[in-house]
Amino acid sequence: MKKKIMFIMPNKGYSGAEKVVIQIIENLKNKYEFIYVSEPGEINQYLQDRNIRHIKTKKRLDKNEIEEIVKKEKPNILHTTDYRASTITSFINTKIPIISHLHNNPPWLKNLNKNSIVYLLASKKFKKILTVSNSIEREYIFSKLIKNKIENISNPISRREILDNISNNKTDKIYDICFVARLCKQKDPIRFVDIIEKIKDIIPNISVIMIGEGSLNEEVKQYIIEKKLSDTINLLGFKKNVYEYMNESKIFCLTSKWEGFGLVAFEALTLGMPTYVTPVGGLVDIVDNDCGYLCNTDEEFINEMISVLKDKKKYQIKSNKAIEKSKKLDNIEEYMSKLDKIYQDLMSN
């Protein structure tokens, strides 16, 4: 009988962490039985399409509800995927090994505050703390106290899974610049709009798409109207297959204030998109000056993107380097082997 792994998920949507969990399940399903626990929502169809068992909760991360599910299902490992899910799972009455898998490094991580203290106390129940970049361990104020539990396993990144989701490798691009992210404070979409406004002064016919939804939906929409950029920026909302739209774009831009890993940057490189991002979290290990640029200021974003859009030769060189870099970063087999060993070690102990 297969051992049972239960993912405790904090959200009902579909973004980076959910994408990673689905990759794990798809790659290791022949070895383990997986259960995905979350509120019903946007994620439903993705799980249904892949025949992944989904236990739908009535509330978001309710301790008593999760405890009842765990008692009934009796999993061998509880795999949680952010600070809140990890902390709440630590409160339940169980001796089942808990993995706290951190995909992000929010600003509070660096300081002495309620959140950083509560996570430290919760960590006593964790058998393993997995991170997607060294920046998370480096920035957490209490990391030295739990260093023996922390392991950076990066993110599972597979060129094949991306390329399998595009119809063809288009050479005629419809859009100049593409932004893909949740519309939230972390990704700073307002800054992106400001950058596009200044680029439009130099390249009046610039064509831009923004893909994603979030808490700043209406604010971003109104800001685009206020800046008279409605004919320039196409706000497309959530798209199930984002790769088709990215593949129709020349370059990629991400203005994050903080990041855990930054998987979307790898996806952009795989599609041959010169990639321009802020130097935060795991992005510093994904993007370099050959395949794009790590931009500190708005001026760097503006100047670097304009230069590559105006120079076809420079664009082609950067595009080729982007593909080369993505090939070097591809790690799907190594990642799954590492996670499989972590599961085995926890269950044997």
> Is 160-329 a domain of CATH 3.40.50.2000?
yes
What are the structural domain ranges in the chain? 3-156+331-348, 160-329
Contact 182, 192 (CB under 8 A): no
Average pLDDT over residues 299-308: 98
Q: Is residue 319 scored above 70 in pLDDT?
A: yes
Lateral strand order in the sheet of 249-254:
233-237, 208-211, 175-180, 249-254, 275-277, 292-294
Q: Is residue 327 scored above 70 in pLDDT?
A: yes
Give the architecture-level CATH label for domain 3-156+331-348: 3-Layer(aba) Sandwich (3.40)
Mapped onto helix, strand or coil, the DSSP state of residue 15 is coil
CA distance 202 to 306: 8
What secondary structure letter does DSSP report for 121?
Answer: H
pLDDT at 73: 97
Which of 187, 324, 208 lies closest to 264, judged by CA?
187
pLDDT at 171: 64
Which pTM value belongs to this model?
Answer: 0.81
Which of 181, 167, 162, 196 lies closest to 237, judged by CA?
181
Q: 3-156+331-348 and 160-329: same fold?
A: yes
pLDDT digits (tens, 9 = 90+) for 165-195: 898 766 678 999 999 999 999 999 999 999 9
* Lowest model confidence (mean pLDDT) among 46-55, 129-138, 308-317: 129-138
pLDDT at 27: 96
Q: Considering the chain, what is the average pLDDT of its residues?
A: 95
Q: Is residue 149 scored above 90 in pLDDT?
A: yes
Helix or strand run (H / E) with residue 222: helix 217-226
